Every structure is written in C-alpha cells, then in structure tokens.
Structure 1
Amino acid sequence: MVNYLFKQLRFVRGNTIKQVTGMSEEETRTVPRGFNNNILWNLGHILLVHEKFSFALTNEKMELPKHLAELFAPGTKPENWGTQVPSLDGIFLLLSKQIDRIEQTLEHRLEEDLEKPFVTSAGLELSTVKECLSFCLYHEGMHFATIKAIKQQM
C-alpha cells in the first residue's frame, strides 16, 4: 500500500514540474525585478532540500553532484553562479526521479527517529523520517508559489 506521504510528494512534484514544462532555459534563468532568484534556482533548491531532508538527515547517501549545494543552498543567488550550472533538462531529470528514490529508500522507515532532531530555519523541530518528508511538502509548496509568482512577472 502506498503511504499517503508518497502520494502527496508525487502530487506536489508533478505540479511543480507541470508549472515549468514548456518554459525555455532562458525564461527559467531570468530573475524578475523584486525577486532574488529565478525559476531554475527554485527548482534546484527544491531538489537539494528534498535530498537533504530525505537522505542526509536519515543517514542515507545523497545522490546529487556536490557542487549543486553551492548553487542552490539557502542564501545563494544566481548572480553568484559560476560555470557548472545544470541545465533545466538536467534539473528536470533529477526532480522526476527523486520521489521514487525517496520512496524506495524510506517507505519502511517512516516511524524511525532521526539520529539527532533537526530544527528548520523556520524553527520547527523534526525528529522522525515522516516529519522530514512532511516538511518537504510544505517547503516545495512555498517554492511552487514563488515559481508561479515569477512566471506571472514575465
């Protein structure tokens, strides 16, 4: 039986991808006035945070190139990007496979306690695997809204 969390993670991820499908690489790299980041940054940030909360915090191996953290970590901006920025297609590919990897790795571990509780930047303490995944839903929803707002400015 598919746990509701994985069903919701797939739903949210599908909507995120659908929101950006059909946009050009150039459009996703544009930072409109009033914003600090672009759509590509938001997608990469979603990818990175899911990876951290689903794998690193649960003592599993993250499967992203290390330089992505330098590009998409909280506080980073496209204006500081160097030359190793992934393409939109590259980010799409990683996003499209991530939820399956999360489910395969964590489907039987949802009730497990984290080795050490984690406190988010918003001040929420996460202490179990399912709490981490639930927070990912909130986080992706926030960035989905930002992506929609950026699109409306274009």
Structure 2
Amino acid sequence: MNTTLALIRATRKKFIEFTEAFTIEQLNQIPTGFNNNIAWHLGHIMVSQQLLSYKLTGNPCLVSDTLLEKYRHGTKPESFINEAEIEEIKHYLLANIDQLEADLQTDKFDQFKTYNIATYNFTLNNIKDVVTLVSNHDGLHYGYCMAMRKLL
C-alpha cells in the first residue's frame, strides 16, 4: 500500500504543478464538450477520497460539509471557484493523504461499509480497495484536465 500512496501523492503533486500554468479564470472555464473545469476536478478528487475512506468507515471527514457537497460525484461547478478555495483544496490534496497514511496505521478503518462504485462496476470491500481506487480515480481526472488544457 505504500507504493500506492506514493503514487497518489506524486499524481496530486503533478496535478497541483499543472494548475500553476493557468489563471484563475482559466481554472474556472468549462471547455466546450466538458461538464466541469479544472478547479472542480481538483476539489472532486479531494472530496472523493474523503467520502470513500472516512465516511464509509463511519469516521468524520477532514474537510467541511460545504466542500463535500460542492465537489461530490454528480456535481458540477455552480459558481466561480475563487483563488482562496483553490488554495485550500490544494492544501487538502496533500495533507489529507498524509493523514490517511497515518490513520492506516491504526484501527480507524476497521468498520468499513461495503460500497459499489457504479462508474467502475466495482465493489469496495475494505480500505485497501479504496486506496487503490483513489489512485486510479486521481489519474483519470488528471487526464481529463490534461485534455482540457488544449482548449483553454
């Protein structure tokens, strides 16, 4: 699992670096043919990890309910995402993986609630499955954003 966590961290660092090339307006622009923008994708990967690893185990998420609702599966940008919120999300992208790694060393995730991910038609049975999925999910959304950059 250490390798998977390292891959998540590396992908998130590259994602954060990737965003530095864009203005706040570009991060909020939804390119033709897409439903979301780069700023939303950042928030979405952060929130997805929180909901899957903490909520499914009955633990409190490490971010606000406002962020959870704004970026969860099935949402889209409803308003301009300001620079302060993007910076907050960037902070959580790495800090939450550090906390997840620390929490994995405890029994915090023992009460896992089995969950089917309809998008993948895949059932999560334990926290190890979640960490594996998060790695894949982060890469998927990073790829979407790399495609978007050509249209910004």
What interval of TM-score do these two structures reach, taking the shorter chain for normalisation? 0.7 to 0.9
In 1, Cα distance between equivalents of 2:5 and 2:30? 32
Within 5 Å, which residues of 2 pair with 1:84-103?
A: 87-103=85-101
The alpha-carbon distance between structure 1 residues 115 and 100, as it changes in their structure 2 partners (threshold 3 A), is closer
Q: SS of the residue aligned with 2:114?
A: strand
Q: Is the 8 A contact 1:52 1:62 kept in 2?
A: yes
Q: Structure 2 length as normaliser, TM-score?
A: 0.87
Shift of 1:117: 1.0
Q: Match for residue 150 of structure 1?
A: 148
In 2, Cα distance between equivalents of 1:100 and 1:20? 21
Structure 1 stretches (4+) deviating beyond 4 angstroms?
Answer: 82-86
In 1, Cα distance between equivalents of 2:133 and 2:140? 11
Within 5 Å, which residues of 2 pair with 1:42-121?
A: 42-78=41-77, 80-81=78-79, 87-108=85-106, 114-121=111-118
**1:100-135 C-alpha deviation (Å, 9 max, x unpaired):** 11111113559x765331100221011111111100
| Count of residue pairs the alignment pairs up | 151
Shift of 1:82: 8.0
1:34 matched to 2:22: no
* Counterpart AA for 1:115: F
Q: Is the 8 A contact 2:43 2:71 kept in 1?
A: yes
Runs of 5+ consecutive residues of structure 2 not aligned to the other structure? none
Which of these residues, 127, 137, 140, is aligned with residue 138 of structure 2?
140
* Counterpart AA for 1:3: N
Shift of 1:87: 2.5
In 2, Cα distance between equivalents of 1:44 and 1:63? 13
How large is the Cα RMSD of the aligned pairs? Answer: 2.4
In 2, Cα distance between equivalents of 1:9 and 1:147? 16
In 1, Cα distance between equivalents of 2:69 and 2:21? 27
Q: Structure 1 length as normaliser, TM-score?
A: 0.86
Runs of 5+ consecutive residues of structure 1 not aligned to the other structure? none
* Counterpart AA for 1:104: A
Identity of aligned residues (%): 26
The alpha-carbon distance between structure 1 residues 76 and 113, as it changes in their structure 2 partners (threshold 3 A), is same
